[in-house]
Amino acid sequence: MRNITANTTPTPTIRGIADHSWQARGLCHNMPAADIDELFFHAARNRAAIDEAKSICGRCPVKKACFDYALDNEIRHGMWGGLTEAERRPWHRKVAKRLDYARVKAAFAGRDVHLSDAEREAVTRHAYVRGWSPERLAHTLRLDLDWARDLMRNAAHAVADRDRYWGQADETEPADETTEDDDASPVQVPRQAQTDSLIAALRKAA
């Protein structure tokens, strides 16, 4: 796992795929194995065990890290992050489309984070706007250099189409000012970038 020591900004809480240090802070960490099996790997209709496990998870300081761990590692059995197998099933189905900007920031901070397709695309577009080289993107995302070049080309087209669309929609709106040398946090995307109409327009332009 890579470590960036020169970064003076607050370190993201997400550390990396191989980092299990969060588990030691879980409320279930030192519980007997038999109790863990009974509560967190319970029978499907054991409401008493489910309610007790949810009560423990609800007070746990690493609840989100536990949930993310189950999604990243395709763990579908048992209770993780306070959710049962059935409750996590919809999240597993849409995990490839997850867009968590805390993970995007962690990737820019040099963390080895398991990114979804949407998060990887966000990193690529932010990297292009910042003027990153394909070599730097390949190193950050652990990609083949040719693949990184293709991603950069796609990002260039997407950003150009986005700017062209915004120019037609509102020519009086001032352009956002960003500093290319500011690597502390990802470039802020205006709110209208999240609208369904813009997403549909970008898909047609692509």
Helix, strand or coil, per DSSP, at residue 21:
helix
**C-alpha distance from residue 50 to each of 58, 64, 65, 83, 142 (Å):** 12, 18, 20, 9, 40
Answer whether residue 178 shows pLDDT above 60. no
pLDDT at 119: 87
Looking at every residue in the chain, the average pLDDT score rounds to: 76
The listed range with the strongest mean pLDDT (30-34, 138-142, 195-199, 200-204) is 30-34
pLDDT surpasses 60 at 168: no
* pTM for this predicted structure: 0.50
Q: Is the pLDDT of residue 189 over 80?
A: no
Q: Name the band, by pLDDT with cuts 50, 70 and 90, for residue 3.
A: very low
pLDDT digits (tens, 9 = 90+) for 78-96: 999 999 999 999 888 887 7
Nearest-CA neighbor of 132 among 99, 155, 161?
155
Mean pLDDT of 24-43: 91
Is the pLDDT reported for residue 129 higher than 50? Answer: yes
Please report the pLDDT score of residue 18 as a whole number: 53
